[in-house]
Structure 1
């Protein structure tokens, strides 16, 4: 046992100190037992450990006691119940060996480490919280050694780069950094280690385990110990791959938009919400005269100055309208741009508001383009719509318009006017014997002589074929004045005409019928009818002269009545005839369709269609004629079903009166069903005069028939009311260029007109057919400019049914397998 001083020290040590024998009985204990277990130290001597510490504590200590009695030195930590509170202790049991080596007892030292334990628990809890935050962070996190080795990584970083935590701990950040980014990353890391800064952030790319690149934002801070020695880096890694892809996509889209805007043929200007320009593309720079640098920041009204093409005054800027009314604005083709340096360019423009994501208007875009060529073409087409292509004289549409204006003026002022209808004598004989080329030259010369005769302020019109109309809108209608003019015209046209390339002079003449306002009629239709009656009277009496209308001209009326009777009889007895003229597709050289042409014979003489068709229309018989043609064509198509002509389509001419009949479509459909004919075997040809009729019913009929499978062609295109608008509005598949244009195609102007019609038709998706092709030169030129089909005497004249197949085969116009 310890001596006095030692005993005093041991007795007062703030820890349990004791010695127990092999029977677990205390042989020594210090005073601390009193504090811990509430037992006086003297009372403990000889008692067992179980008796002193209690059953609960003994159960915790028994295992350690048995081990020390077996000779093993023991150190343990346990929580023991003591007076006042539990204590977390660290115990030490050391065996006491007898000389024979047996354990005769053991020394006991138990320290109260409750405060240290509490501190350790708090530290463990703190570490657990850090570990939980570290592992559950949404962004990648890593603890990295100063050399770059991964010490710890979280799950987000593993998911981001595809490696496991163990794989990370076997690598350094240098191993998985994109080669192009490594140098920069190392430089920043070294600078941080050197103390130049404690944190840094950088965009860099990692290599995913699958080999792909992962774009990130890396934020790094360096942790040092108390001496300033670097311990480790704390890295935060945010995946921005999607953002970089979006940025790249946005960049590409911006570049594409920029390239597109710089490449398109339209001018584009954008503005902010105040109307200040933010962008001009190169075309806009050229058209306005303002460069991008000069124009940006300017008000749109200063750079884009639009004036009315018709009136010349400034028009409200479409950008202003688009933003104020929050809608797309189109100002059409009636706008002219006044350029920076004073020039003017016709433009077609539109503007639309620009909105942000919330839908608020933040600016506008103006798109416009130069329509100089389109406007010139429209002007040319407008001229063509009202003028004859061969002679450039006003056509019947313009003549009617001027006549109606002149009548209205005369009615208001009490004035007078005269109308003369003329018909060239022997012109058909010239065409038949000398050919259409000579006939056209004769027609042009006749037109020039007529223009020379009538003087300024009057109108001479090519009415149709070899017919002319003359209007004297402010005429002194005394017999002498108009008589003198008629004499000059008849005399001028009686003079021989010398034709280039033809040795002999050509002699024609003219017959004139004259009506006067208000003497003979009080409206334009009646005036023309009266002049027509007078013209027939001249022809009946020998031609080459003129005649004023008089009520006594019953003979002319009787002639019309007689013609009507002949026509009625022919319809009733089915004495009308059909001839067929082939239409050839240039790409194959074969016939694709036939035009059905109605003919009337009486007393062995063939009557000109221009005569009986007009009377049929005036008398209302045209519907009966049209019905007969439809039935005859359907029967003929059925008859051809087993012949070499079985695949040909047939074109039927439809008059305005037929086209506007309510039952027209039903009648035609019934006929095809009755004869077992497919509607696609029939094409309907309408003339431009049909289009000046009330259009609603005509359009409805044609649309219904087109839906059923019929095709529609516009005949004699350019000789009548050639409005561009109806070409898109009406159901038209094919444009047939009038033969007068084709004949005149050898001239520079005539060729340009035909080329313009072909280009227009192609642009509108229409098929193009040229009529009146008579020479190889015309054919070659039409093929060059892209014409689809041709029709004319070069291939075949109108043929009777019995001759048709033989002529076509002889001319190689039918495929060999038909």
Structure 2
């Protein structure tokens, strides 16, 4: 069944008569959507298929014997003439041409001219013209999309980059280059994570891993990047995974915006919220936050509290005015900071009341620190308008961080005991 054809299958009586074969070939040619024709060396049509009707309005019978100029029209003929001359010289031709058919439709075509060479002489040429409008329009749409993408990248007011899924740079726009201080050629092909601040790279790697395994399709974060000159900037980064967008491979499209000014403003606001504006020391709110952090790290941790009050400070304000009072407070804060060392920290609670948090809460150390503070803050306070002498009353206590108010009350009470004892002694 599947062996060699039998003699009957290949015998002459089973071959189609030439007339029938020609008829069937004619039907085939007429059903092809491409223009198929043959032109002799005098540029007269010998054969044309039915597609010529759609393009030029000539039936195969009407085209036969006509000069190619009459079929194509003067304009197209003039454009095609170099290719016609070349094919009549025996050279195959392949070119593209825009045609407007008889219905006024613009068609993009690809034309093939094949010389018919008999005994070394070109007797004519075969023509095949294929409609490639769909391909050309798709290419135009692609090119337009690419052009718009490049315009968007070049003119965007914020940074943009296209990265591989291994974070290597495929495309980067001028705005991002300006933010980072690099030229585009310096960054193309480079692992973009190298620009991330070392402390922020673990989070950058985690974001990338999520995109790589497609557990997330987009990520958003704020992190630090190191510019070419070594300075650090904060950038808001939004990135999305685009599957199959680069030769079938996934890419990451990322957008960057410089938020350094906002982050600095936020940091400054946070600092001001925890800072006493008159002395530059931390304030009561900062003191509570510090205690809270210690308690979170070790609920059983003990701390020391040193409570400080400037004796007679109210009289300074009354006698010399508010400006001198502020100067005295600033000087007291400076002396306090010169006396203590980290991790101990000083705070102004209000008025002339200061507190020092002693992290190493050994009893003898807390008392030693309290004595040193009292000595440092007792003495002359020179100002622009006057020089005043003040003494400091200091109390201290130590205990667990679970009741800060109780510790403050105990330190305050000890301070008043010390103040009373000094008055009784006449100090």
TM-score normalised by structure 1 residue count: 0.32
SS of equivalent to 1:257: coil
Q: Which residue of 1 aligns with 2:98?
A: 79
Task: Report the counterpart of residue 57 of structure 2 in structure 1.
Answer: 38
What SS class does the counterpart of residue 68 from structure 1 fall into? helix
Q: 2:117 aligns with which of 95, 98, 105?
A: 98
For residues 291-370 of structure 1, the aligned pairs below 5 Å read 332=318, 368=351
| Residue 144 (structure 1) shift | 0.5
1:207 and 2:226 aligned: yes
After superposition, residues 164-313 of structure 1 pair within 5 angstroms as 164-225=183-244, 231-250=250-269, 257=276, 260=279, 262=281
Conserved 8 A contact 2:244-2:251: no
Per-residue CA deviations over 1:479-520 (Å, capped at 9, x if unaligned) read xxxxxxxxxxxxxxxxxxxxxxxxxxxxxxxxxxxxxxxxxx
For structure 2, the residue ranges without an aligned partner over 5 or more in a row are 1-17, 285-304, 320-324, 327-348, 354-380, 388-427
What do the CA deviations read for 1:271-313 (whole angstroms, capped 9, x no partner)?
xxxxxxxxxxx999969xxxxxxxxxxxxxxxxxx9xx9xxxx
Whole-Å Cα distance in 1 between the matches of residues 177 and 95 of structure 2? 40
* 1:18 pairs with one of 37, 52, 58: 37
- Higher RCO structure (Cα 8 Å, ≥6 apart): 2
Is the alpha carbon distance of 1:101 and 1:92 closer, same or farther for their aligned partners in structure 2, counting shifts above 3 Å? farther
Q: Is the 8 A contact 2:167 2:191 kept in 1?
A: yes
Distance 1:182 1:191 in 2: 14
Structure 1 pair 200/369, CA: closer, same or farther in 2 (3 Å)?
Answer: closer
Q: Judging changes above 3 Å, is the alpha-carbon distance between structure 1 residues 70 and 368 closer, same or farther for their aligned structure 2 residues?
A: same
The CA deviation at 1:4 is: 1.3
Question: Aligned to 1:111, which of 111, 119, 130?
Answer: 130
Cα separation, 2, equivalents of 1:233 and 1:263: 45
Question: 2:169 touches 2:190 (CA, 8 Å); kept in 1?
Answer: yes
State whether residues 87 and 115 of structure 2, in contact with CA within 8 Å, keep that contact through their aligned partners in structure 1. Answer: no
Find out whether 1:146 has 2:165 as its counterpart.
Answer: yes
Query: Does the C-alpha gap of structure 1 residues 79 and 256 become closer, same or farther in structure 2, counting only changes over 3 Å?
Result: same
Alignment length, in residue pairs? 290
Cα 1:205–1:10, aligned 2, differ >3 Å: closer, same or farther? same
Q: Do the aligned partners of 2:275 and 2:281 also contact (CA within 8 Å) in 1?
A: no
Instruction: Measure, in 1, the Cα distance between the counterparts of 2:236 and 2:119.
Output: 74
Q: Is 1:62 the counterpart of 2:81 in the alignment?
A: yes
Contact 2:219/2:238 (CA < 8 Å) preserved in 1?
Answer: yes
Shift of 1:248: 4.3
After TM superposition, list the pairs within 5 Å mapping 1:189-588 onto structure 2: 189-225=208-244, 231-250=250-269, 257=276, 260=279, 262=281, 332=318, 368=351
Partner of 2:23: 4
How far apart are 1:73 and its partner, in Å?
A: 2.7
1:700-754 superposed Cα distances (whole Å, 9 cap, x missing partner) = xxxxxxxxxxxxxxxxxxxxxxxxxxxxxxxxxxxxxxxxxxxxxxxxxxxxxxx
Larger radius of gyration: 1
Match status 1:129 vs 2:148 = yes
SS at 2:279's partner residue?
helix
| Structure 1 stretches lacking a partner, 5+ long | 268-281, 288-305, 310-330, 334-347, 350-365, 371-758, 766-818
- What is the alpha-carbon root mean square deviation over aligned residues? 4.0
- 1:3 partner SS: helix
Distance 1:90 1:153, change over 3 A: same
SS of the residue aligned with 2:46? strand
Distance 2:168 2:91 in 1: 43
Counterpart of 1:83 in 2: which secondary structure?
coil
Specify the SS of the correspondent of 2:214: coil
In 1, Cα distance between equivalents of 2:93 and 2:226: 53
Say whether the 8 Å CA contact 2:161–2:253 is kept in structure 1: yes
CA distance 1:230–1:54, change in 2 (3 Å): closer
2:179 to 160, 166, 184: 160
Could you tell me whether the CA contact under 8 Å between 2:242 and 2:251 is conserved in 1? Answer: yes
The answer on whether the counterparts of 2:112 and 2:128 sit within 8 Å (CA) in structure 1 is: yes
2:110–2:130: 8 Å Cα contact kept in structure 1?
Answer: yes
- Name the CA shift for 1:92/1:220 in 2 (closer, same or farther; >3 Å): same
- Shift of the 163–75 alpha-carbon distance from structure 1 to 2, 3 Å rule, reads farther
Superposition deviation, residue 157 in structure 1: 1.0
CA deviations over 1:200-233 (Å, ceiling 9, x no partner)? 122222232233223212111111249xx86100
| Structure 1 position 367, deviation (Å) | 7.4
1:98-117 CA-partner distances (Å, limit 9, x unpaired)? 24444332211112333443
TM-score by length of 2: 0.58
Partner of 2:221, secondary structure, is: strand
Contact 1:74 1:94 survives alignment (8 Å): yes
1:50 aligned onto 2:60: no
